[in-house]
Amino acid sequence: MFLQQLINGLTLGSTYALVAIGYSLIFSVLELINFANGAMYMLGGYVTLMVYLALKGHFLISFFISILVVGFVGFSIDRFSLQPLRKKKSPRMAALISTIGIGTIIENSIMLFFGSETKSFPNKFDFGKFEIGNAIVSWTQVIILITSIFLMVVICLVVYKTKIGKAMRATAQNVDASRLMGIDVEKVISITFIISAFLATIAGTLVSMYYQNVDINMGFQVGMKTFAAAVLGGVGVLHGAMFGGITIGILESLGASYISSGYRDAIAFAIMILVLLFKPSGLFGKNQTTKL
Protein backbone atom coordinates (compact mmCIF):
# COMPACT_ATOMS: atom_id res chain seq x y z
CA MET A 1 0.00 0.00 0.00
CA PHE A 2 2.74 2.36 1.01
CA LEU A 3 4.78 1.52 -2.07
CA GLN A 4 1.76 1.99 -4.30
CA GLN A 5 1.06 5.43 -2.90
CA LEU A 6 4.73 6.28 -3.15
CA ILE A 7 4.79 5.43 -6.84
CA ASN A 8 1.54 7.29 -7.52
CA GLY A 9 2.85 10.28 -5.62
CA LEU A 10 6.15 10.19 -7.46
CA THR A 11 4.42 10.22 -10.83
CA LEU A 12 2.10 13.06 -9.95
CA GLY A 13 4.86 14.86 -8.12
CA SER A 14 7.11 14.86 -11.15
CA THR A 15 4.42 16.73 -13.10
CA TYR A 16 4.00 19.16 -10.20
CA ALA A 17 7.76 19.67 -10.37
CA LEU A 18 7.49 20.80 -14.00
CA VAL A 19 4.92 23.47 -13.17
CA ALA A 20 6.83 24.46 -10.04
CA ILE A 21 9.91 25.03 -12.18
CA GLY A 22 7.82 27.43 -14.24
CA TYR A 23 6.91 29.42 -11.10
CA SER A 24 10.53 29.39 -9.94
CA LEU A 25 11.96 30.58 -13.23
CA ILE A 26 9.56 33.50 -13.55
CA PHE A 27 9.98 34.44 -9.91
CA SER A 28 13.76 34.41 -10.12
CA VAL A 29 13.78 36.62 -13.19
CA LEU A 30 10.89 38.96 -12.35
CA GLU A 31 10.21 38.56 -8.62
CA LEU A 32 6.65 37.93 -9.68
CA ILE A 33 4.34 35.04 -8.90
CA ASN A 34 2.71 34.08 -12.15
CA PHE A 35 -0.79 33.17 -11.09
CA ALA A 36 -1.64 32.40 -14.67
CA ASN A 37 0.64 29.33 -14.62
CA GLY A 38 -2.16 27.10 -13.35
CA ALA A 39 -4.39 28.40 -16.12
CA MET A 40 -1.77 27.54 -18.72
CA TYR A 41 -1.49 24.04 -17.28
CA MET A 42 -5.24 23.66 -17.75
CA LEU A 43 -5.11 25.28 -21.18
CA GLY A 44 -2.46 22.74 -22.20
CA GLY A 45 -4.74 19.82 -21.43
CA TYR A 46 -7.76 21.36 -23.11
CA VAL A 47 -5.97 22.55 -26.26
CA THR A 48 -4.43 19.11 -26.75
CA LEU A 49 -7.90 17.61 -26.45
CA MET A 50 -9.39 20.16 -28.81
CA VAL A 51 -6.77 19.66 -31.52
CA TYR A 52 -6.96 15.89 -31.08
CA LEU A 53 -10.71 15.95 -31.58
CA ALA A 54 -10.37 18.31 -34.53
CA LEU A 55 -7.74 16.19 -36.23
CA LYS A 56 -9.58 13.00 -35.29
CA GLY A 57 -6.44 11.34 -34.04
CA HIS A 58 -2.68 12.06 -34.21
CA PHE A 59 -2.14 12.52 -30.50
CA LEU A 60 1.52 13.46 -30.70
CA ILE A 61 0.85 16.14 -33.30
CA SER A 62 -1.94 17.58 -31.13
CA PHE A 63 0.45 17.58 -28.19
CA PHE A 64 3.04 19.43 -30.22
CA ILE A 65 0.55 22.01 -31.52
CA SER A 66 -0.75 22.52 -28.00
CA ILE A 67 2.77 23.24 -26.75
CA LEU A 68 3.24 25.87 -29.45
CA VAL A 69 -0.16 27.47 -28.86
CA VAL A 70 0.17 27.73 -25.09
CA GLY A 71 3.76 28.87 -25.49
CA PHE A 72 2.44 31.71 -27.58
CA VAL A 73 -0.21 32.46 -24.93
CA GLY A 74 2.53 32.62 -22.30
CA PHE A 75 4.49 35.00 -24.47
CA SER A 76 1.42 37.20 -25.01
CA ILE A 77 0.69 37.37 -21.30
CA ASP A 78 4.07 38.90 -20.75
CA ARG A 79 4.21 41.02 -23.87
CA PHE A 80 0.73 42.54 -23.73
CA SER A 81 -0.10 42.86 -20.08
CA LEU A 82 3.01 42.59 -17.93
CA GLN A 83 5.49 44.48 -20.07
CA PRO A 84 3.34 47.66 -20.12
CA LEU A 85 3.15 47.49 -16.34
CA ARG A 86 6.92 47.16 -16.12
CA LYS A 87 7.37 50.12 -18.43
CA LYS A 88 5.08 52.21 -16.24
CA LYS A 89 7.05 51.11 -13.19
CA SER A 90 3.85 49.99 -11.49
CA PRO A 91 3.98 48.50 -7.99
CA ARG A 92 4.54 44.78 -7.91
CA MET A 93 1.05 44.01 -6.65
CA ALA A 94 -0.31 45.39 -9.92
CA ALA A 95 1.47 42.68 -11.88
CA LEU A 96 0.34 40.01 -9.43
CA ILE A 97 -3.28 41.08 -9.69
CA SER A 98 -2.93 41.28 -13.43
CA THR A 99 -1.79 37.66 -13.59
CA ILE A 100 -4.69 36.65 -11.35
CA GLY A 101 -7.05 38.43 -13.72
CA ILE A 102 -5.50 36.74 -16.73
CA GLY A 103 -5.67 33.36 -15.04
CA THR A 104 -9.35 33.98 -14.36
CA ILE A 105 -9.94 35.05 -17.95
CA ILE A 106 -8.23 31.97 -19.36
CA GLU A 107 -9.97 29.54 -17.04
CA ASN A 108 -13.39 31.04 -17.63
CA SER A 109 -12.90 31.22 -21.37
CA ILE A 110 -12.13 27.51 -21.34
CA MET A 111 -15.19 26.89 -19.23
CA LEU A 112 -17.39 28.87 -21.59
CA PHE A 113 -15.95 27.27 -24.69
CA PHE A 114 -15.91 23.67 -23.50
CA GLY A 115 -18.68 23.59 -20.93
CA SER A 116 -18.18 22.72 -17.31
CA GLU A 117 -18.54 18.94 -17.41
CA THR A 118 -15.46 16.83 -17.10
CA LYS A 119 -14.37 15.62 -20.51
CA SER A 120 -12.62 12.38 -21.25
CA PHE A 121 -9.10 12.47 -22.54
CA PRO A 122 -7.38 9.75 -24.53
CA ASN A 123 -4.46 7.84 -23.13
CA LYS A 124 -2.33 6.74 -26.03
CA PHE A 125 0.43 5.46 -23.82
CA ASP A 126 -1.61 2.83 -22.09
CA PHE A 127 0.62 -0.17 -22.55
CA GLY A 128 -0.60 -2.11 -19.58
CA LYS A 129 0.69 -2.60 -16.08
CA PHE A 130 3.33 -4.56 -14.25
CA GLU A 131 4.04 -5.31 -10.63
CA ILE A 132 6.78 -4.26 -8.31
CA GLY A 133 6.28 -5.98 -5.01
CA ASN A 134 2.78 -5.13 -3.78
CA ALA A 135 2.37 -2.21 -6.09
CA ILE A 136 0.89 -2.08 -9.55
CA VAL A 137 2.69 0.30 -11.88
CA SER A 138 1.25 1.25 -15.21
CA TRP A 139 3.43 2.01 -18.19
CA THR A 140 1.69 5.38 -18.41
CA GLN A 141 3.17 6.28 -15.05
CA VAL A 142 6.61 5.19 -16.17
CA ILE A 143 6.37 7.26 -19.33
CA ILE A 144 5.20 10.32 -17.40
CA LEU A 145 8.04 9.92 -14.94
CA ILE A 146 10.64 9.48 -17.66
CA THR A 147 9.33 12.46 -19.65
CA SER A 148 9.32 14.69 -16.58
CA ILE A 149 12.81 13.70 -15.53
CA PHE A 150 14.04 14.19 -19.08
CA LEU A 151 12.54 17.68 -19.16
CA MET A 152 14.02 18.55 -15.78
CA VAL A 153 17.45 17.54 -17.03
CA VAL A 154 16.95 19.59 -20.20
CA ILE A 155 15.93 22.65 -18.20
CA CYS A 156 18.94 22.29 -15.94
CA LEU A 157 21.20 22.04 -18.97
CA VAL A 158 19.59 25.09 -20.54
CA VAL A 159 19.83 27.19 -17.40
CA TYR A 160 23.35 26.19 -16.39
CA LYS A 161 25.10 25.36 -19.63
CA THR A 162 23.76 27.62 -22.36
CA LYS A 163 24.27 31.28 -23.07
CA ILE A 164 20.58 32.08 -22.74
CA GLY A 165 20.60 30.27 -19.42
CA LYS A 166 23.44 32.45 -18.29
CA ALA A 167 21.48 35.48 -19.38
CA MET A 168 18.53 34.26 -17.31
CA ARG A 169 20.68 33.73 -14.25
CA ALA A 170 22.26 37.14 -14.70
CA THR A 171 18.87 38.83 -14.99
CA ALA A 172 17.77 36.97 -11.88
CA GLN A 173 20.71 38.31 -9.94
CA ASN A 174 20.60 41.92 -11.03
CA VAL A 175 18.47 43.32 -13.80
CA ASP A 176 20.29 46.61 -14.23
CA ALA A 177 23.73 45.07 -14.31
CA SER A 178 22.53 42.59 -16.92
CA ARG A 179 21.28 45.43 -19.09
CA LEU A 180 24.63 47.11 -18.76
CA MET A 181 26.27 43.90 -19.90
CA GLY A 182 24.28 44.07 -23.08
CA ILE A 183 21.68 41.44 -22.24
CA ASP A 184 18.30 42.07 -23.82
CA VAL A 185 16.31 41.74 -20.62
CA GLU A 186 12.93 41.86 -22.32
CA LYS A 187 13.91 38.98 -24.56
CA VAL A 188 15.12 36.97 -21.58
CA ILE A 189 11.84 37.57 -19.78
CA SER A 190 9.83 36.54 -22.83
CA ILE A 191 11.85 33.35 -23.18
CA THR A 192 11.33 32.57 -19.50
CA PHE A 193 7.58 32.91 -19.94
CA ILE A 194 7.63 30.71 -23.02
CA ILE A 195 9.63 28.02 -21.25
CA SER A 196 7.33 28.00 -18.25
CA ALA A 197 4.34 27.82 -20.60
CA PHE A 198 5.91 24.83 -22.39
CA LEU A 199 6.46 23.06 -19.08
CA ALA A 200 2.94 23.80 -17.89
CA THR A 201 1.42 22.53 -21.13
CA ILE A 202 3.39 19.31 -21.04
CA ALA A 203 2.55 18.72 -17.40
CA GLY A 204 -1.11 19.45 -18.06
CA THR A 205 -1.31 17.07 -20.97
CA LEU A 206 0.55 14.31 -19.13
CA VAL A 207 -1.73 14.52 -16.11
CA SER A 208 -4.84 14.61 -18.28
CA MET A 209 -3.55 11.48 -19.95
CA TYR A 210 -2.94 9.85 -16.58
CA TYR A 211 -6.40 10.57 -15.21
CA GLN A 212 -7.97 10.24 -18.66
CA ASN A 213 -9.98 13.40 -18.20
CA VAL A 214 -9.78 17.17 -18.16
CA ASP A 215 -11.86 19.18 -15.77
CA ILE A 216 -12.38 22.85 -15.04
CA ASN A 217 -10.85 22.84 -11.59
CA MET A 218 -7.51 21.63 -12.90
CA GLY A 219 -5.98 25.06 -13.22
CA PHE A 220 -6.72 26.55 -9.84
CA GLN A 221 -6.04 23.47 -7.72
CA VAL A 222 -2.80 22.50 -9.37
CA GLY A 223 -1.71 26.14 -9.60
CA MET A 224 -1.96 26.46 -5.84
CA LYS A 225 -0.28 23.14 -5.10
CA THR A 226 2.62 23.70 -7.44
CA PHE A 227 3.16 27.15 -6.03
CA ALA A 228 3.29 25.50 -2.60
CA ALA A 229 5.86 23.12 -4.06
CA ALA A 230 7.95 26.00 -5.37
CA VAL A 231 7.77 27.69 -1.95
CA LEU A 232 8.74 24.44 -0.23
CA GLY A 233 11.85 24.07 -2.30
CA GLY A 234 12.66 27.73 -2.25
CA VAL A 235 11.16 30.05 -4.83
CA GLY A 236 13.71 30.91 -7.46
CA VAL A 237 15.83 27.82 -6.89
CA LEU A 238 15.59 25.33 -9.73
CA HIS A 239 16.41 22.10 -7.94
CA GLY A 240 14.29 23.30 -5.04
CA ALA A 241 11.25 23.44 -7.29
CA MET A 242 11.88 19.92 -8.53
CA PHE A 243 12.35 18.60 -5.04
CA GLY A 244 9.33 20.50 -3.80
CA GLY A 245 7.12 19.21 -6.60
CA ILE A 246 8.00 15.58 -6.02
CA THR A 247 7.73 15.94 -2.25
CA ILE A 248 4.30 17.52 -2.43
CA GLY A 249 3.17 14.83 -4.84
CA ILE A 250 4.32 12.05 -2.52
CA LEU A 251 3.03 13.70 0.67
CA GLU A 252 -0.32 14.33 -0.97
CA SER A 253 -0.65 10.73 -2.07
CA LEU A 254 0.33 9.36 1.30
CA GLY A 255 -1.79 11.89 3.16
CA ALA A 256 -4.84 11.15 1.04
CA SER A 257 -4.66 7.46 1.77
CA TYR A 258 -3.62 7.56 5.39
CA ILE A 259 -5.36 10.68 6.66
CA SER A 260 -8.42 11.44 4.62
CA SER A 261 -9.08 11.97 0.96
CA GLY A 262 -11.41 14.93 1.45
CA TYR A 263 -8.60 17.01 2.89
CA ARG A 264 -6.22 15.95 0.13
CA ASP A 265 -6.01 19.39 -1.43
CA ALA A 266 -5.52 21.05 1.92
CA ILE A 267 -2.29 19.15 2.55
CA ALA A 268 -0.30 21.15 0.04
CA PHE A 269 -1.59 24.47 1.44
CA ALA A 270 -0.87 23.39 4.98
CA ILE A 271 2.68 22.43 4.03
CA MET A 272 3.13 25.78 2.33
CA ILE A 273 1.95 27.71 5.38
CA LEU A 274 4.23 25.66 7.62
CA VAL A 275 7.22 26.32 5.37
CA LEU A 276 6.48 30.03 5.23
CA LEU A 277 6.21 30.06 9.00
CA PHE A 278 9.44 28.33 9.80
CA LYS A 279 11.72 28.72 6.83
CA PRO A 280 10.34 31.31 4.42
CA SER A 281 13.21 30.98 2.01
CA GLY A 282 12.33 27.34 1.49
CA LEU A 283 14.41 24.23 1.94
CA PHE A 284 17.02 25.16 -0.63
CA GLY A 285 16.61 28.89 -0.72
CA LYS A 286 19.11 31.41 0.49
CA ASN A 287 18.12 33.81 3.22
CA GLN A 288 17.15 36.97 1.44
CA THR A 289 18.08 40.08 3.27
CA THR A 290 16.33 43.22 2.12
CA LYS A 291 18.85 45.71 0.91
CA LEU A 292 17.90 49.31 1.60
Partner 1 sequence: MLNKALNFCAVNSRFITFLFFLFALLFPVFFKTPYTLRVATMSLMFTMITLGLNIVTGYMGQTSFGTAAFWGIGAYTAAILTTRFGFSSLIVFLSAAITAGLASLFLGLCVLKLKGYYLAIVTLGFCEIVRLIELNWMSLTRGPLGIMNIPIISFFGVKFKSPTENYYLILILLAITTYIVSKLMNSRFGRVISSIREDEIATQSMGINTVSYKIQAFIIYAIICGVAGAFYAQYMRYIDPTMFTANQSIEMVIMVIFGGMASVPGSYLGAIFLTVLPELLRDLLEYRMLIYGFIMVIMVTVKPEGLLGNINLIHIKQQISLDLDEE
Task: Provide the binding-site residues for partner 1, judged by CB under 8 A.
Answer: 32-33, 81, 84-85, 90-94, 96-98, 100-105, 107-109, 111-112, 220, 224, 227-228, 231, 260, 262-263, 265-266, 269-270, 272-273, 276-277, 280, 290, 292
Of 180 and 292, nearer to partner 1 (C-beta) is: 292
Cβ count near 47 (within 10 Å): 24
Residue whose CB is less far from partner 1, 60 or 292: 292
CA 216 to chain centre: 16
Cα–Cα distance for residue pair 250/155, rounded to 1 Å: 22
Paired strand residues for 132: 135
Min separation Cβ 35 and partner 1, Å: 8
Nearest distance from C-beta of residue 197 to partner 1, angstroms: 18
Report the nearest approach of partner 1 to the CB of residue 97 (Å): 5
Nearer to partner 1, 190 or 281 (CB): 281
Q: Which is nearer to partner 1, 96 or 156 (CB)?
A: 96
Residue with Cβ nearer partner 1 (4 or 90):
90
We find the least distance from the C-beta atom of residue 190 to partner 1, in angstroms, to be: 18
DSSP 107-133: HHHHHHHH-SS-EE---TT---EEEET
Listed in order, strand segments (DSSP E) in 18-142 are: 119-120, 129-132, 135-138
The minimum distance between CB 272 and partner 1, in angstroms, equals 6
Of 210, 198, 206, residue with least CA distance to 154: 198
C-alpha dist (Å) from residue 26 to 113, 124, 166, 217, 247: 29, 32, 15, 23, 21
